Amino acid sequence: MPPRDIIIDTDPGQDDAAAILLALASPEEINVLGITAVAGNVPLPLTSKNTRIVCELAGKVDVPVYAGCASPMTRDLVTAEHVHGKTGLDGPVLPDPIMPLQDTHAVDFIIETLRSRPTGTVALCPLGPLTNIATALKRAPDIAGHVQEIVLMGGAYFEVGNITPAAEFNIYVDPEAADIVFKSGIKITVMPLDVTHKVLVTPTRIKALRDTQTKVCSAMADMVDFFERFDTDKYGSNGAPLHDPCVTAYLIQPDLFTGRHINVEIETQSDLTLGMTVADWWGVTDRAPNAMFMGDVDAQGFFDLLTERLARL
Ligand SMILES: [Ca+2]
């Protein structure tokens, strides 16, 4: 099988960094056509800078990086410095990037790439709020028919919420964008908190990263150490969840994950439950399935893959 062509849409974020590094370390399975930055965990100037920091950490300075939307479609931006630190990549000391940002806007890059390549050959991998993807779909509805698949991190059912009691951060920040994506008719695979909260960076798993004695794995371990402190306090678990790399791990080894093909709708009205992914896990409605909603993961298999691949960089 030739590698899958993908566009990563991201708001780094230490876990975004893990997802990007995993993709860039896996050229046999994944060909990264470009990386588009979006406002989310931290504002756009930082996410577009952090994306390039991560590419340079991986030694992949030729990957084109595009800046996208600076704020959600209709709302003010909500950020998550309380989790990721002031820069979004707090933890290791990494140099400012030298590689340039592309001049093209991320939304234009997404549209042009999908239109110029054969239909059904490009997958979109959103790791942050869905603003860039939904803006592209709104501006160029024809591209929906060109996307091979969207594999995204976002939402929750059994784990409910992490930014509010009812909503996961990526969906909460831009629920109108999420609503557009989930109603697009595109094949969607979702990595919700139900999965990512099982992917815990325990001390043993951090040690496995450090034991490789590579620059990339050490930086990753430093990043994980940083936000691990926050999440362990919050959840009281034996290590923090590593959300976004579930997306790129799925592209490499889909059998690590299991889920259900179900209907998922986005709450865009209620103040109380804004951004909730209303997932019909039990099939209690007749609403048509629109997403493969993952529910379980082989967590150790995931960490073995992540560590082995990042050590290659
Ligand atoms: Ca993210």
Q: Could you report the per-residue pLDDT of 56-76, keeping only the tens digit for each?
A: 999 999 999 999 999 999 999
Q: Could you report the per-residue pLDDT of 126-144, keeping only the tens digit for each?
A: 999 999 999 999 999 999 9
Interval between CA 15 and ligand 1 midpoint (Å): 6
Q: Could you report the per-residue pLDDT of 248-258, keeping only the tens digit for each?
A: 999 999 999 99
Q: Give the active site residue among 82, 146, 243, 261.
A: 243
Provide the pLDDT for residue 128: 98
Active-site residue, 105 included: no
Mean pLDDT of 36-40: 98
Interval between CA 12 and ligand 1 midpoint (Å): 6
Interval between CA 110 and ligand 1 midpoint (Å): 18
Mean pLDDT of 172-177: 98
Interval between CA 285 and ligand 1 midpoint (Å): 31
% of the chain beyond a pLDDT of 90: 94
Interval between CA 127 and ligand 1 midpoint (Å): 4
For the chain, give the secondary structure using H, E and C.
CCCEEEEEEECCCHHHHHHHHHHHCCCCCEEEEEEEECCCCCCHHHHHHHHHHHHHHCCCCCCCEEECCCCCCCCCCCCCHHHHCCCCCCCCCCCCCCCCCCCCCHHHHHHHHHHHCCCCCEEEEECCCCHHHHHHHHHCHHHHHCEEEEEEECCCCCCCCCCCCCCCHHHHHCHHHHHHHHCCCCCEEEECHHHHCCCEECHHHHHHHHHCCCHHHHHHHHHHHHHHHHHHHHHCCCCEECCCHHHHHHHHCHHHEEEEEECEEECCCCCCCCCCEEECCCCCCCCCCCEEEEEEECHHHHHHHHHHHHCCC
Interval between CA 173 and ligand 1 midpoint (Å): 11
The whole model's pTM is what? 0.97
Q: Could you report the per-residue pLDDT of 39-54, keeping only the tens digit for each?
A: 999 999 999 999 999 9
Task: Report the C-alpha gap between 95 and 303 in whole angstroms.
Answer: 26
